[in-house]
């Protein structure tokens, strides 16, 4: 295409035809999308259906974009990687959307239940949508009412690999931090589900055969994505912050760091049911910020190795139990906060730096 001076559509083109050298320069370039294999969009779309169930198994979407529109009383499961998903004009439907490298965008839908793990979550013009969410950035809603959110709990055989493909970390879930573009004074367009509910109350498991094939579970105990309470929901006044650092800059070190964080979460889940995970964060911390959070320079050497993983636990005796566990697991390098009047400020600072680093 061209500008006013060179566009063949422009009347000026005929008065000032481009010089020869220029037209050579502007010869059409070949981009990857000009030469890629064409696919049938219908294979990546579910539309205009009623009272039906659709299951896409691992390997059937392979990280392509997926489109869902105009469904009523349907259940849709996408157990695969997607590039981005739009869900438009659906009523009374239930969805599971597998790891999305880009956004999951819901528009003009009502009375739907949804479970998804994605990089971005967005809604517009929706009513009564309940979402079990794992989202790498802050979820946003616009012109949407009676929206409910909860933490996604799920596992299946291919999930770890799919999360990796989508560049999503299970240690960075912002389901509890919603931004509303259209707040209404005196009303709340969104709320959080009580912890007494679970995913299965809102989205049914698929048929037995599929469940077995995928080793699928929605349970809170077997979930791969850590169940978090959210910072608006601390049950007691006793919190503890545990931060893991990568030992060096290798992939192996980052893997170890994740294993250690998972181990601690599982030990606590299995042995101390009264201590709960409030929130997990994985992000790059600068040296200056680190000094601010930890009150010491002694962790600065690890920061250049990669992102840190921070876990906040809450419950009576959380601090002592975490110190003991971390000691006995011999996991290093790690920081565990000490009880002090300054602790909540320290934890807030830790989250604030995470938010700052997430914004541009």
Nearest to another protein of 2, 339 (CB atom): 2
Q: Which one of residues 19, 47, 50, 181 is an interface residue with another protein (CB under 8 A)?
A: 181
Q: Is 2 annotated as a binding residue?
A: no
Nearest to ligand GDP of 32, 273 (CB atom): 32
Residues sharing a CB contact under 8 Å with residue 210, sequence separation 6 or more, in sequence order = 55, 57, 77, 216
Q: Which one of residues 55, 64, 83, 211 is an interface residue with ligand GDP (CB under 6 A)?
A: 83
Q: Binding mask 339-358 vs another protein (x if CB under 8 A, - otherwise)?
A: -------------------x
CB 79 within 8 A of CB 156: yes
62 binds, among ligand GDP, another protein, none (CB under 5 to 8 A by kind): none
Reduced DSSP (H G I as helix, E B as strand, rest coil) percent helix, strand, coil of the chain, to 5: 30, 30, 40
Helix 287-294 vs helix 343-358: angle between axes, to the nearest 10 degrees?
Answer: 160
Residues sharing a CB contact under 8 Å with residue 162, sequence separation 6 or more, in sequence order = 58, 80, 81, 98, 99
Q: How many residues bind another protein (CB under 8 A)?
A: 46
119 lies in the site for ligand GDP, by CB under 6 A: yes
The β-bridge partners of 310 are 243, 281
Q: Is 121 annotated as a binding residue?
A: yes
Hey, how many other C-beta atoms are within 10 angstroms of the C-beta on 45?
Answer: 13
Sheet holding 308-314, edge to edge: 276-283, 308-314, 239-244, 334-336
The β-bridge partners of 122 are 105, 140
Q: Which one of residues 120, 195, 292, 349 is an interface residue with ligand GDP (CB under 6 A)?
A: 120
Nearest to ligand GDP of 102, 204 (CB atom): 102
Q: Binding mask 304-343 vs ligand GDP (x if CB under 6 A, - otherwise)?
A: ----------------------------------------
Dihedrals phi, psi of 98, to nearest 5 degrees:
-70, 180
CB 78 within 8 A of CB 58: no
Instruction: List the structure tokens of 105.
Output: 């965008």
Interacting residues with another protein between 34 and 53 (CB under 8 A): 39, 41, 44
CB 46 within 8 A of CB 68: yes
142 lies in the site for another protein, by CB under 8 A: yes
Q: Is 122 annotated as a binding residue?
A: yes
> Annotated binding site for GTP: which residue ranges?
102-103, 119-122
Instruction: State the residues that interact with another protein by CB under 8 A.
Output: 1-5, 7, 9-11, 29, 31-33, 39, 41, 44, 64-65, 67, 69, 83-84, 86, 88, 101-103, 105, 107, 119-120, 122, 124, 136-138, 140, 142-143, 167, 179, 181-182, 358-360
Instruction: State the residues that interact with ligand GDP by CB under 6 A.
Output: 83-84, 102-103, 119-120
């Amino acid at each position: 295409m061209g500008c006013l001076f060179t566009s063949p559509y422009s009347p000026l083109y005929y008065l000032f035809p481009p010089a020869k050298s220029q037209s050579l320069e502007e010869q059409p370039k070949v981009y990857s999308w000009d030469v890629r294999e064409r696919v049938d969009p219908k294979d990546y779309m579910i539309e205009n259906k009623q009272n039906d169930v659709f299951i896409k198994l691992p390997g059937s979407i392979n990280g392509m974009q997926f489109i869902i529109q105009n469904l009523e009383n349907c259940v849709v499961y996408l157990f695969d990687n997607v590039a981005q998903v739009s869900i438009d004009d659906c009523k009374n439907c239930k969805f599971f959307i597998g790891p999305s490298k880009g956004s999951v965008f819901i528009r003009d839908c009502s009375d739907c239940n949804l479970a998804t793990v994605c990089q971005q979550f967005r809604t517009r013009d929706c009513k009564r949508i309940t979402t079990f969410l794992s989202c790498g950035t802050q979820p946003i809603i616009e012109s949407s009412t009676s929206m409910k959110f909860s933490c996604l709990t799920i596992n299946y055989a291919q999930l770890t690999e799919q999360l990796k493909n989508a560049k999503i970390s299970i240690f960075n879930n912002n389901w509890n931090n919603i931004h509303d573009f259209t707040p209404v004074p005196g009303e709340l367009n969104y709320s959080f589900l009580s912890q007494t509910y679970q995913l299965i109350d809102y989205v049914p498991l698929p048929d037995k055969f599929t469940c077995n094939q995928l080793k699928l579970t929605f349970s809170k105990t077997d979930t791969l994505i850590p169940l978090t309470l959210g910072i608006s929901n601390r049950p007691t006044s006793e919190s503890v912050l545990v931060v893991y650092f990568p030992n060096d800059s290798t992939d192996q070190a980052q893997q170890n760091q994740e294993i250690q964080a998972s181990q601690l979460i599982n030990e606590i889940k299995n042995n101390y049911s009264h201590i709960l995970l409030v929130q997990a964060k994985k992000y790059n911390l600068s040296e200056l910020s680190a000094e601010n959070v930890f009150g010491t320079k002694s962790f600065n050497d690890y920061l250049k190795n990669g992102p840190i993983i921070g876990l906040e636990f809450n419950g009576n005796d959380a601090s002592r139990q975490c110190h003991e566990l971390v000691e006995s697991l011999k996991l290093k390098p790690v920081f565990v906060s000490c009880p002090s009047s300054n602790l909540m400020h320290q934890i807030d600072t830790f989250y604030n730096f995470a938010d700052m680093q997430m914004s541009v």
